[in-house]
Amino acid sequence: MEQEINKDNRPPVVAILGHIDHGKSTLLDYIRKTKVTMTEAGGITQHISAYEINHTSKKDGQSRQITFLDTPGHEAFGSIRTLCTKVADIAALIVSAEDGVKPQTLEVYKQIKESAVPYLVVITKIDKPSADILHTKQSLAENGIYVEGYGGDTPVVELSSVTGQGVDEFLDMISLISELEGVMADREQNGSGVIIESRRDAKRGITAVGIIKNGTVYSGLFAGTTGTIAPIRFLLDYEGKMVDKLSFSSPVQIVGWDKMPAIGDIFQTFLKKEEALSFANALKEQKENKINSSATIGEEVTSYLHLVIKTDTAGSLEAITNELGKLSRERIAPKIILSSVGNINENDIKSALSTSGATVLGFNIKVDAQAAALAERTGVTILTFNIIYELTDKVKELLTEKEPRIEVEEVIGSAKILKLFGITKGKQVIGGRVLSGQIKRGTSVKIVRRETEIGKGTVKELQQSKIATDTAGEGTEFGAMVESKMEIAPGDVLKIVILVTK
């Protein structure tokens, strides 16, 4: 019973999930009265973000804390969305009343079901002239998502992030689901949680953003996660404001890690540095054992596109790495020789120089002046991007350009041998009919007898009606001189082949 005394209801952590451009960030903009979407490259969210609000219910007048996780809708950020369903207490599946169910809607729904997190469906953009709520619910049902009043018991809220209609009902529904779930946490414990993002700050060093799932994080403690620790000299909340402590469900920014924390890893705080270090090393050993036990050898390719990747955050780096892994072609694949978070520096250019033809790719970062100068002197290509699909499209283009070309045989026609007129020093005079395609003077042929290739030859001369020609087409008869070591017989079939570079 004594353990229960310190336990309180933990405010909900809500993941906002759905297809790109279905209004996830715009909804949070309305709730927070900000303009976050205006600052995103291309108008799309490309990072995971955490926000904390206090909502006063119109039903009972009580104020309740809610933490929101805003997730990217673009398909490249699937791993980040998976992380959010694991961190969240409640998932809000956002579906546009204009578009209905889309590919990432289904992907997110699958992740929600696999993680067994409670969820509600939020139909957005109901103010739009083309909005069709009934059609959207029908679209959901056709894809196995059954909402209340439409064949199921999944809560559904209809709202507009422009007029605000339905937003209070959405927040009240979150509070209701949270009360029904009754998640508890102990405020007296040293804080622990999950890393949802990490980045390198030029002034402060490595910063990780976490969601506290239990206890309280204080300045003066030591934080540990897989393979790295940080002395908590000062704490930052989700807005970047300095605070003395933060408790469960709150986003927290911890500054000063000695290595970049991996997103999705748990963190724990301790009174002593030695305890944090022991915890970090134990997690590192567990992860290495897991990686070694599941390692597989990839298929061999004949060539690689060598890349140095620099990004603004660990989440971006993971998303880009996953996307590049999907771009392998038959004879060439992307190969990352160096990847990290931070601006492009001289070391990155030197790493590119160590591998012939390597390209440096940057995402949402800057290029140091020294790095730019070294790249210009040495001919290293630096390409920077602000939108992930523009980066992946460029890599596809580079793979196409650099893929090794090979010569392959291509059959352009076939002909049946009707008669053998004579043989002189390996040159055979034959008569035949073109069965398909065409036969050309100077081309190679495969000699096929009873569906088995028995030899090869070359068409040295070609005639039609005793007149020399270069080509004979389908259905026509011809005479030809074929040079071959294999004697050709009536009934044989010639497969006419050419070499094509691909």
**Domain boundaries of the chain, sorted by first residue:** 7-184, 187-292, 303-402, 407-501
The pLDDT value given to residue 64: 85
Q: How far separated are the first and last CA of the chain, in Å rounded?
A: 74
**Phi-psi category of residue 364: left, alpha or beta, with phi > 0 → left and psi -120 to 50 → alpha:** left
Whether the per-residue pLDDT at 313 is higher than 80: the answer is yes
For the chain, the average pLDDT equals 86
The pLDDT value given to residue 21: 75
CA 323 to CA 332: how far, in whole Å? Answer: 15
Over residues 163-192, the mean pLDDT reads 91
- Give per-residue pLDDT as tens, 154-169: 999 999 999 999 999 9
Closest to 352 (Cα-Cα) out of 398, 399, 306, 304: 306
Closest to 454 (Cα-Cα) out of 409, 407, 398, 493: 493
- Give per-residue pLDDT as tens, 433-442: 999 999 999 9
- Contact partners, residue 205, CB within 8 Å, separation at least 6: 255, 256, 257
The pLDDT value given to residue 309: 94
User: In the structure, what pLDDT confidence band is assigned to residue 301 with cuts at 50, 70 and 90?
Assistant: low
Amino acid residing at 91: A
> Higher-confidence residue: 301 or 490?
490
What is 7-184's CATH number? 3.40.50.300
Class of residue 92 by CB neighbours under 10 A (exposed 0-12, middle 13-18, buried 19+): buried
The reply to whether 7-184 and 187-292 are identical in fold is no
User: In the structure, what pLDDT confidence band is assigned to residue 302 with cuts at 50, 70 and 90?
Assistant: low
Q: At what angle do helices 314-324 and 78-87 cross, to 10 degrees?
A: 130
CA 164 to CA 27: how far, in whole Å? Answer: 9
CA 375 to CA 379: how far, in whole Å? Answer: 6
Which tokens hold the place of 381? 């290509």
The pLDDT value given to residue 1: 37
The pLDDT value given to residue 479: 94
User: In the structure, what pLDDT confidence band is assigned to residue 298 with cuts at 50, 70 and 90?
Assistant: very low
Closest to 335 (Cα-Cα) out of 377, 303, 371: 303
Whether the per-residue pLDDT at 200 is higher than 90: the answer is no
Does domain 407-501 correspond to CATH entry 2.40.30.10?
yes
Whose structure tokens read 């970090």? 280
User: In the structure, what pLDDT confidence band is assigned to residue 43 with cuts at 50, 70 and 90?
Assistant: very low
Q: What percent of the chain has pLDDT above 90?
A: 52
What is 187-292's CATH number? 2.40.30.10
Vertex 63: Cα angle to 58 and 66 (nearest 5): 105
User: In the structure, what pLDDT confidence band is assigned to residue 39 with cuts at 50, 70 and 90?
Assistant: very low
Over residues 387-416, the mean pLDDT reads 88
The pLDDT value given to residue 409: 86
Which one is the CATH code of 303-402: 3.30.450.40, 3.40.50.2000, 3.30.70.580, 3.40.50.10050?
3.40.50.10050
CA 45 to CA 55: how far, in whole Å? Answer: 24
User: In the structure, what pLDDT confidence band is assigned to residue 330 with cuts at 50, 70 and 90?
Assistant: confident
Q: Within 10 A of 299 (CB to CB), how many other CB atoms are there?
A: 7
Over residues 325-351, the mean pLDDT reads 88
> Higher-confidence residue: 332 or 222?
222
Q: What percent of the chain has pLDDT above 70?
A: 91
Whole-model pTM?
0.68
User: In the structure, what pLDDT confidence band is assigned to residue 407 with cuts at 50, 70 and 90?
Assistant: confident
Whose structure tokens read 């209809």? 158
Over residues 69-75, the mean pLDDT reads 63
- Which letter does DSSP use for residue 379 in this model? T
- Tell me the range of 54-58, 69-73, 494-498 where mean pLDDT is highest: 494-498
Whether the per-residue pLDDT at 297 is higher than 90: the answer is no
Over residues 14-32, the mean pLDDT reads 84
Percent of residues in the chain assigned helix, strand, coil, to nearest 5: 25, 40, 30
